[in-house]
Chain A
Amino acid sequence: MNELARHRETPLDPVTQEILQGKLLAVVDEMGIVLARCSMSPVVYEVLDFACGICTVAGDLVAQTNGITLFTGTFSAQVRALHNRFAATMAPGDVFITNDPYRGGTHGCDFAVVRPIYDGDAHVGYAITVAHWLDVGGTVPGSLPADATTIFQEGLRLPGVRVMRGDQLVDDIVAIIRENVRLPELALGDLNAQLAAARIAEKRVQEICTKYGRTTLMVVFDGILAASERLARAAVRALPDGCYKASDFIDGDGRTDERIPIQLTVTIAGDEMIFDYTGSSPARAAPINCSRGALHSAVKTIFKAMVTPQAPSNDGWFRPVQVVVPDGTVFSAVKPSPTGWYYEGSAQASELAWKALAPIAPERFSAGSYTSLCATYFCGTLPDGNEFVHIEPQHGGWGATSYRDGASALIAVTDGDTFNYPAELLEAKFPLRIVRHALNIEGGAGAGQWRGGFGVIREYEVLAAGTYLYASFGRSATRPWGLAGGREGSLNYIEVQRPDGTQVRLSRTAYHPLHAGDRVRLVTGGGGGWGSPQDRPAARVRDDIANGYLDPATAASDYGSVARSPEPTSAA
């Protein structure tokens, strides 16, 4: 290490630094392409519920794919946990697998595959990929039972074991996976895709070592982290010191519809920020909790949004951040609290930070959004007798900003480059028909000088008996918040209508049997508004009416005299 220490004192020329950073980003991109295109799980290839990264030997993330935000902060904790246990016995060709939510992970469905990267015999870093497997066993297909009271109902757990040794699969582990999941072909397909991605990463990093030298690569790792830290500290220093508070509710935990109180105090002091979630509800005996790993991701997502949305992510950015919370809250669940819907807890933790900081950084934050990923599962039997599980996230309305209306039908903060599911693909595969996919105009969005964006309505007709639904729709009682005098947005919900006309309204549901002819309406809410509705220019109100975004009656009640101002003579 003497050679490295010497190199570290004389920093690398910035040109080589830039070139190697570009190469590392190309490596994680390549991992992502391999993983997404080979995966068997729709959650991976349609929802992009996966991420790939490269970490230093110390576990610091230096390059990551841009897929979704949920994994912004989980990699380093997972790698460190494995490093601490296995460093002494690790060897080239080893690959580890873990889905333990209490050791930096998220929930049982997210399997991390970690490969130590060797250049010859020297351990130079880690390649890590995590992907959501469609089913990992447990009480329901899809492994996210809404009524779980402990993690033992959420399926198989592998707390960091070798899945490869000397580049050969460890058959015992493969057999355990195969026998404990409902769709082993899919799970092992995804495992293969993740192993391929990690193998590519090691190969590419070895090529970099051969060409530029191992020591150079180590110096580049340091340089990446240090440059980001510098920029992050400068951004925090530019914010006013002080304490910023926010509180909110999580609507229902899966087992009850109770509103669960949560809160946050953000302290800015010099170039450091503390996010303190103390005072939030204790963990629930229900899957809404998240563990520390997911909470760190939630905070880092908002911190990154504030400091530098576009720059590539790495652990350097987050060195000024400290997260405080006692063990055992809804945001710091410990064994055996279930974490199946951790992304719902994580989304609310993100939105608390967003809400606390929006008043001091309006150029980065909007009013409140529909928040919840509104994950929806349809399960049942195909005409050929095979079981099916269809999962899709719902897109919804975002809050207005200080200079324009909110975005309509975008994916929630927990995700990112995440697509909705085409009706034509769905109808070709499953006994379901989509009869409507539209903006949720009737539900409305928060009025304001700038109004919120609209949510969506997806209405399904069920074609086969024996189909059932489970789903987790948050923000079903607490509306998205407005800012600077803007009004609140609207709520998320599910409505099931029987052919006889009877209706039931749902939000988080464990198991809802459906029958042929039932109509299932999935509805997401509109975002909050910005500024007083009285300040909205009349031309915008008229334009919204002309395009059917606003009906005249709502216009009159929301915008009053603005909406009644005289119309110009009709335009061509």
Chain B
Amino acid sequence: MSYLATDVGGTFTDLVHFDSRSGRISVAKTLTTPDDPSRGVLNAIALGQEEGYVSPGAIDRLVHGGTTVINAITERKGAVTALVTTAGFRDVLEIGRGNRPDLYNLHATSPAAFVPRRLRFEVRERMDARGHAIEDLVLDDLDAIVAECRQANVAAIAIAFLNSYANPLHERMCADALRNRLPGVAVTASHEISRQWREYERTSTAVLNAYVMPVVDRYFDRLEVALGERGFGRPYFAMQSNGGMASFAWARTHPLSLIESGPAGGVSGAAAIGEWLGEPDVLYLDIGGTTAKCGIVHAGSPKLTSEYHLERTRTRPGYPVQLPVVDIVEIGAGGGSIAWFDAGDVLRVGPSSAGAAPGPACYGFGGTAPTVTDAMLVSGVLDPQSFAGGSMRLDRSAAEAALQPIATKLNTSVEGAAGAVLRIAEANMLNALKLVTIQRGHDPRDLTLVASGGGGPMHAARLARELGVRRVVIPPYPGVFSAWGMLVSAPRRDLKRTQLHQADEEAVDIGRTLFAQMQREAAEYFEVEPVDLRCFQAVEMRYRGQEHTVSVPCRLDDWNAAQLISAFHEAHEVAYTFRLDSTAAEVVSFHLKAELITARPTLVAPEAVSPIDETFRARMVDHGPGGQCSTTLYSRDALAPGFTAPGPALIEEPSSTTVVLPGQRVTMDARGLLAIEEQP
């Protein structure tokens, strides 16, 4: 089998090819082409063809991921979009939830709505909470709306009716009518993308989906045509935010499901590594140029959040997206993050970043602000000569000059300043890692940490030691890990139904019926029989009176209510330290995860490309407490399975450098994964 994945990032477009017969992985990187990202993708593919490892006719699966959707939203380059709601509710989109997370800022506002008020229309109809129509849909109300949409050149329409999660009939009728009367206009009815309650969140989700649909449609059109011309066979897959992949056809009508496809690729890759290592629980960390992202794989699957918000920060409420998205915590701490002193003279690192331009001072592109990369260079982790495979020389004196003001203020050497910058950056990363582990009920001592990105392998050993994780694993080609993760992900759908009920035998019956329905829906979607699917069931439950739920994995076909309730008590105790055995439990929603059973690539042992350098190489590196020490250097492509060495050591490869601390040991396993563990 021959697999190909492309990941369009902000700066680079990555390509990873995997040949399951030889086990060979090939990678390519080109610049992203923001005006039309499909050009960058084709450039990367052309590189692969030139190098000889990509032959279009022989590709069995092509997966595509990237930032097209999130960029269209962040840059507000989506379509002119209208909204149709139940009469009385057109302002829900603008009202939002009315919270002020920036609570002491008396100039705070809610985020601006994606549809202006004049394009928000109302029709008469009403469902109640049980899905009974208490007022029929008045289709005549659409006449005026159609006329106004034509006049305003509306290209996309979202429909969001109250209680449509319980019964989507009116939304469906309205969508049919609008599609008939406005051909060429992209229509999204909220139930097509979410069957969960909370009207503002579902409306926001439908609006964002409609807003990007024309953009993504055009983009996939161009890409499909171009791929076809180059001889690539269908089907093409798109990486989704839930860690699974979907056909292009599905992605075109549900583009919002691609919103975090890059990070989802990384978490999927971490899940696959966990599977190979027999580790169901994995902590994933990716450190790039501007941010560090971390997520969790639990019981073999990426942990998802149902409370994802776009553009949410500590001070901004952001826009809710009611779709399953890998649960990622992202903080502004990466290689380009700038160190600075705040008004109280406290040293801080990030969130502002020198980015790719001007970049860290040591790049020599004109940057003068001290960054994490500059600190890595001064501490000796990075080598001026061998950075990026020797393609770019780093300027140590520029890094020292940038760090000097910090050294002066802290009354220390530039090496001391570099150490301080790294410790603070790592303290920030550590707080993010704790947020996804300890604060969500996962004990780090049970976890393996998979680290990727240019920066992950440099920081992972120390973060792992602080956090107490069992071991660190550095995958091959950590710099293109998201694309690699897309290769190993499976086609997948997440379906969810909200139905509030007391946790009793009747609820279990309801659950069985809903799971069967959802399983049929998933099978239809994949055009297979239900037996071709691997299905996971979970029920979101809570104590009566609580609002928030705990997700309880289950097998309702074999379970009775008592078993479900007992599993809930346990899950609640794990998450929140206590249980209330005498309090009644409720079920809130049913979540089915359906994966298509297909062949997936697996890693094969690499062969050492070049023999280990006979001459012993080492340099002085500052590993923090204990100060400078002589550190052995290895080139990753010279290592073969069975290799093992004590720290301190550095393992260099073109896209990153792996740090092994004194007291740790690094080993290369049969698949070419590097594992770092504390020595007993």
Query: Is A98 close to B, CB under 8 A?
Result: no
> In the complex the two chains form, is B439's CB within 8 Å of A29's CB?
yes
Interface flags for B90-108 (1: CB within 8 Å of A; 0: not) read 1110111111111111111
Chain A interface residue count, CB cutoff 8 Å, equals 89
Contacts of B423 in A (CB 8 A): 15, 19
> In the complex the two chains form, is B117's CB within 8 Å of A39's CB?
no
Query: Is B344 close to A, CB under 8 A?
Result: yes
Partner of B197, one of A69, A425, A547: A425
Query: Is B21 close to A, CB under 8 A?
Result: no
Interface flags for B576-606 (1: CB within 8 Å of A; 0: not) read 1110100100000000000000000000000
> In the complex the two chains form, is A427's CB within 8 Å of B315's CB?
no
> In the complex the two chains form, is B104's CB within 8 Å of A436's CB?
no
Partner of A310, one of B104, B128, B543, B575: B104
Contacts of A401 in B (CB 8 A): 107
Contacts of B98 in A (CB 8 A): 395, 409-411, 418-420, 456
8 Å CB contacts to B: which residues of A359-380? Answer: 364-366
Partner of B110, one of A23, A34, A409: A409
Contacts of B431 in A (CB 8 A): 22-23, 26
Query: Is A41 close to B, CB under 8 A?
Result: yes
Cα of A437 to Cα of B347 in the assembled complex, Å: 47
> In the complex the two chains form, is A40's CB within 8 Å of B546's CB?
yes
Given contacts A36-B548, A419-B98, contact A18 B165 (CB under 8 A): no
Given contacts A196-B577, A407-B110, contact A40 B165 (CB under 8 A): no
> In the complex the two chains form, is B197's CB within 8 Å of A422's CB?
yes
Cα of A343 to Cα of B106 in the assembled complex, Å: 18
Contacts of B199 in A (CB 8 A): 422-424
Query: Is B231 close to A, CB under 8 A?
Result: no
> In the complex the two chains form, is B545's CB within 8 Å of A34's CB?
no
Contacts of B343 in A (CB 8 A): 231
Query: Is A498 close to B, CB under 8 A?
Result: no
Contacts of A195 in B (CB 8 A): 578
Interface flags for B104-143 (1: CB within 8 Å of A; 0: not) read 1111111000001110000000001100000000000000
> In the complex the two chains form, is B162's CB within 8 Å of A15's CB?
no
Query: Is B219 close to A, CB under 8 A?
Result: no
Contacts of B562 in A (CB 8 A): none
8 Å CB contacts to B: which residues of A11-63? Answer: 13-15, 17-19, 21-23, 26, 29-30, 33-34, 36-42, 45-46
Distance of A528 from chain B, by nearest CB (Å) = 13
B163, B343, B423: residue with the most chain A Cβ atoms closer than 10 Å: B343
Interface residues of chain B: helix, strand, loop or mixed (majority): loop
Cα of A411 to Cα of B547 in the assembled complex, Å: 20
Distance of A434 from chain B, by nearest CB (Å) = 8
> In the complex the two chains form, is A410's CB within 8 Å of B100's CB?
yes
Query: Is A417 close to B, CB under 8 A?
Result: yes
Query: Is B435 close to A, CB under 8 A?
Result: yes
Distance of A135 from chain B, by nearest CB (Å) = 12
The segment out of A88-96, A301-309, A510-518 that lies at the interface is A301-309
Contacts of B91 in A (CB 8 A): 437-439, 456
Closest to B500 in A: A428
> In the complex the two chains form, is B153's CB within 8 Å of A572's CB?
yes
> In the complex the two chains form, is A19's CB within 8 Å of B439's CB?
no
Contacts of A38 in B (CB 8 A): 546, 548, 576, 578
Cα of A307 to Cα of B594 in the assembled complex, Å: 53
Distance of B80 from chain A, by nearest CB (Å) = 9
Closest to B104 in A: A309
Query: Is B348 close to A, CB under 8 A?
Result: yes
Query: Is A408 close to B, CB under 8 A?
Result: yes
Contacts of A415 in B (CB 8 A): 100, 103
8 Å CB contacts to B: which residues of A123-153? Answer: none
8 Å CB contacts to A: which residues of B407-428? Answer: 410, 420, 423-424, 427-428
8 Å CB contacts to A: which residues of B619-655? Answer: none
Partner of A437, one of B95, B544, B578: B95
Cα of A139 to Cα of B273 in the assembled complex, Å: 61
Cα of A297 to Cα of B129 in the assembled complex, Å: 40
Distance of B545 from chain A, by nearest CB (Å) = 4
> In the complex the two chains form, is A422's CB within 8 Å of B200's CB?
yes
Query: Is A435 close to B, CB under 8 A?
Result: yes
Cα of A41 to Cα of B546 in the assembled complex, Å: 7
> In the complex the two chains form, is B435's CB within 8 Å of A26's CB?
yes
The segment out of A185-193, A276-284, A554-562 that lies at the interface is A185-193
B98, B347, B410: residue with the most chain A Cβ atoms closer than 10 Å: B98
Cα of A40 to Cα of B544 in the assembled complex, Å: 8
Contacts of B92 in A (CB 8 A): 437
Contacts of B548 in A (CB 8 A): 36-38, 45
> In the complex the two chains form, is A416's CB within 8 Å of B99's CB?
yes
Cα of A143 to Cα of B106 in the assembled complex, Å: 31
> In the complex the two chains form, is B118's CB within 8 Å of A546's CB?
yes
> In the complex the two chains form, is B107's CB within 8 Å of A185's CB?
no
Query: Is A243 close to B, CB under 8 A?
Result: no
> In the complex the two chains form, is A424's CB within 8 Å of B163's CB?
yes
Closest to B198 in A: A422
> In the complex the two chains form, is A18's CB within 8 Å of B104's CB?
no
Interface flags for A519-552 (1: CB within 8 Å of B; 0: not) read 0000000000000000000000000001111000
Partner of B583, one of A42, A189, A572: A189
Cα of A422 to Cα of B108 in the assembled complex, Å: 22
> In the complex the two chains form, is A15's CB within 8 Å of B197's CB?
no
> In the complex the two chains form, is B105's CB within 8 Å of A420's CB?
no
Closest to A453 in B: B109
Given contacts A548-B118, A549-B117, contact A409 B99 (CB under 8 A): no
Cα of A18 to Cα of B421 in the assembled complex, Å: 11
Interface flags for B541-578 (1: CB within 8 Å of A; 0: not) read 00111111000000000000000000000000001111
Query: Is B346 close to A, CB under 8 A?
Result: yes
Contacts of A17 in B (CB 8 A): 346
Distance of A389 from chain B, by nearest CB (Å) = 11
Query: Is A413 close to B, CB under 8 A?
Result: yes
Cα of A313 to Cα of B343 in the assembled complex, Å: 15
Query: Is B536 close to A, CB under 8 A?
Result: no
Query: Is B152 close to A, CB under 8 A?
Result: yes
Distance of A306 from chain B, by nearest CB (Å) = 9
Partner of B108, one of A18, A26, A410, A434: A410
Distance of B36 from chain A, by nearest CB (Å) = 25
Cα of A301 to Cα of B106 in the assembled complex, Å: 10
> In the complex the two chains form, is A301's CB within 8 Å of B104's CB?
yes
Given contacts A46-B547, A428-B129, A433-B128, contact A417 B103 (CB under 8 A): yes
Distance of A542 from chain B, by nearest CB (Å) = 12
Interface flags for A175-187 (1: CB within 8 Å of B; 0: not) read 0000000010110
Given contacts A22-B428, A26-B431, A305-B106, contact A189 B118 (CB under 8 A): no
8 Å CB contacts to B: which residues of A164-222? Answer: 183, 185-186, 189, 192-193, 195-196, 199-200
Contacts of B435 in A (CB 8 A): 26, 29
Contacts of B53 in A (CB 8 A): none
Query: Is A68 close to B, CB under 8 A?
Result: yes
Closest to B499 in A: A428
Cα of A434 to Cα of B88 in the assembled complex, Å: 9
**Interface residues in chain B, defined as those with a beta carbon under 8 Å from any beta carbon in chain A:** 88-92, 94-110, 116-118, 128-129, 152-153, 162-163, 165, 197-201, 314-315, 343-348, 410, 420, 423-424, 427-428, 431, 434-435, 438-439, 500, 543-548, 575-578, 580, 583
A-B contact list, 15 entries, CB within 8 Å = A13-B410, A14-B345, A17-B346, A18-B348, A26-B431, A26-B435, A33-B439, A69-B104, A189-B545, A199-B577, A313-B104, A410-B99, A425-B197, A433-B128, A437-B89
**Interface residues in chain A, defined as those with a beta carbon under 8 Å from any beta carbon in chain B:** 13-15, 17-19, 21-23, 26, 29-30, 33-34, 36-42, 45-46, 66-69, 183, 185-186, 189, 192-193, 195-196, 199-200, 227-228, 230-231, 301, 304-305, 308-310, 313, 354, 364-366, 395, 401, 404, 407-411, 413, 415-420, 422-425, 427-429, 433-439, 453, 456, 459, 546-549, 572
Nearest 10 interchain pairs by C-beta: A416-B103, A395-B98, A436-B88, A40-B545, A547-B117, A309-B104, A45-B547, A309-B105, A407-B109, A427-B129
